[in-house]
Amino acid sequence: MAQSLSHTVVIIGGGAAGIATAASMLKRQRGLDIAIVEPSDVHAYQPGWTMVGAGIFEPEVTRRPMASVMPKAATWIRASAASFQPEDNQVTLDDGSTVAYELLIVAPGIRLAWEKIAGLEETLGRNGVTSNYRYDLAPYTWELVQQVKSGRAIFTQPPMPIKCAGAPQKSMYLSCDHWMRLGVLDSIDVEFRNAGGVLFGVQDYVPALMEYVERYDIALKLGSNLIAVDGEGGQATFQTEAGQETCDFEMLHVVPPQVAPQFLADSPLAAESGFTDVDPHTLQHTRYPNVFGLGDAGSMPNAKTAAAARKQAPVVAVNALRALDQKGPIAGYDGYGSCPLTVERGKIVLAEFGYGGKLMPSFPSWLIDGTKAQRLSWILKADALPWIYWNGMLKGREWLAGPGNMIAQ
Ligand code: FAD
């Protein structure tokens, strides 16, 4: 018979959001009984994959054993969650066993839906088709960037929502920078094909990005959605308003469509979008007060980034501990998300914004003006942020985070 376990707090997902929340809760309440359900034996710092795709980071620095990031005081349940029974305060795992909880935190991330693009999975990692959205493929992006000297290089962006909405462009700008330095950019036709209708969702950052689109002579094709890839034939097909368009490519950098994990979308915890149905400020579930959700799997309309999870984790830690004491939430999340747009090797447009596209810079503008390409932002991305991630965020130290604005009770 399948085993049944029981823990005071159960967290689904040991990614950026899950580990940070566990660490923040344990910092506030030592000895708290927390179990983390996580199937993977490695933990990835995904923001580093853009740098791997440009030959700046070695792939290995973006991953660590899961055991090394699990808080020592937490119990690691090495399995996948398969379904939720919130009426019974219980989660069922993929082996049929159950875990009962007093408080549940849902953070299994977003699912990359590669299968939605016909012919893509068969050719990923070959025939010039790559993606920085997978650890094992990011080095192939760098390989291609070094190989390609002429022809067409296409960078795609699917419909929203996606994690790190700037990542499709980051890879393109860094590739162009390399080609420009080599003197081959003039022989390469670079296209940015975005299913959406704007270059970047927050207008304040668009002028700085447009400067680079012009500098690299990139053809902007908005409203152009990748639907099929013929790897052997070197052709990609896009759906546009005018109909389908097929073109040849030398290199194709694909960002896959992204959806809520199916087991979550199928559960009573899901919003219509399939993501965990939470209040966008308190991050408490809208129907089950002993359930919280954060990270890429949350229904909040913020930019899905690790930076967002960094700010959300302390908010959930405060409000969830209060929920355990039958008290209402007091901490609030303001929608902060951040996207360091690597426009050239050594310079970044540091987009930081909250709900409604409100600019939320972490630094005064005399130090870092996020709407302009700056060197200091590059140092932040290349050196400071990975360190803050491993040693701050995942350890509950809450640097550049804090428990959010207190909201009225
Ligand atoms: P994840 O970190 O993806 O973790 C989800 C975890 O849940 C995983 O460990 C997974 O194994 C586990 N899981 C999945 N299913 C189950 C299940 N059924 N049961 C239990 N566990 C499960 N963010 C930034 O802030 N800045 C950047 O510059 C940036 N650049 C990026 C570039 C790229 C190429 C990519 C791919 C992402 C980038 N991000 C960036 C986004 C950032 O990595 C994510 O927003 C962040 O990792 C979200 O954290 P999460 O915990 O919600 O999800």
The residues with which 35 forms a beta bridge, in sequence order, are 10, 75
Is residue 53 within 6 Å of ligand 1 at its C-beta?
no
Task: Give the pLDDT confidence of 132-184 residue by residue, as tens digits.
Answer: 999 999 999 999 999 999 999 999 999 999 999 999 999 999 999 999 999 99
For a ligand 1 pocket test, name from 91, 305, 316, 360 the mutation site with the most ligand atoms within 8 angstroms of its C-beta.
305
For a ligand 1 pocket test, name from 78, 110, 140, 164 the mutation site with the most ligand atoms within 8 angstroms of its C-beta.
164
Q: In the prediction, which pLDDT does 1 show?
A: 53
Is the predicted pLDDT of residue 124 greater than 80, yes or no? yes
Q: Residue 314: what are its φ and ψ, rounded to 5°?
A: -65, -35
The residues with which 83 forms a beta bridge, in sequence order, are 92
Is residue 396 within 6 Å of ligand 1 at its C-beta?
no
User: Counting Cβ atoms within 10 Å, is residue 160 exposed (0-12), middle (13-18) or buried (19+)?
Assistant: middle
Q: In the prediction, which pLDDT does 284 show?
A: 98
Is residue 274 within 6 Å of ligand 1 at its C-beta?
no
Tell me the average pLDDT of the chain: 97
What is the set of active-site residues? 164, 339
Q: In the prediction, which pLDDT does 195 show?
A: 98
Task: Give the pLDDT confidence of 344-363 residue by residue, as tens digits.
Answer: 999 999 999 999 999 999 99
Distance in Å, CA 46 to ligand 1 centroid: 7
50/23 Cα distance (integer angstroms): 26
Q: In the prediction, which pLDDT does 404 show?
A: 75
Give the confidence band of 409 by pLDDT, cuts at 50, 70, 90. very low
User: Which of 120, 149, 151 lies closest to 255 in space, CA to CA?
Assistant: 120
Task: Give the pLDDT confidence of 75-121 residue by residue, as tens digits.
Answer: 999 999 999 999 999 999 999 999 999 999 999 999 999 999 999 99
What the block records as the tokens of 91 is 């989660």
User: Which of 229, 172, 203, 227 lies closest to 54 in space, CA to CA?
Assistant: 172
Distances (CA, A) of 307 to 32, 242, 277, 354: 26, 37, 20, 11
Is the predicted pLDDT of residue 405 greater than 60, yes or no? yes
Give me the mean pLDDT over the 359-369 stretch: 95
Task: Give the pLDDT confidence of 258-280 residue by residue, as tens digits.
Answer: 999 999 999 999 999 999 999 99
Distance in Å, CA 243 to ligand 1 centroid: 34
For residue 26, the surrounding DSSP H or E stretch is helix 16-28
Do residues 66 and 40 make contact, with C-beta atoms less than 8 angstroms apart? Answer: yes
Instruction: Kindly report, as residue ranges, where domains of CATH 3.50.50.60 are found in the chain.
Output: 4-110+261-334+379-406, 113-258
Task: Give the pLDDT confidence of 15-64 residue by residue, as tens digits.
Answer: 999 999 999 999 999 999 999 999 999 999 999 999 999 999 999 999 99
Neighbours of 21 (CB within 10 A): 30
Nearest atom of ligand 1 to the alpha carbon of 80:
19
Task: Looking at the structure, give the CATH architecture of the domain made up of residues 4-110+261-334+379-406.
Answer: 3-Layer(bba) Sandwich (3.50)
| Domain at 113-258: CATH code | 3.50.50.60
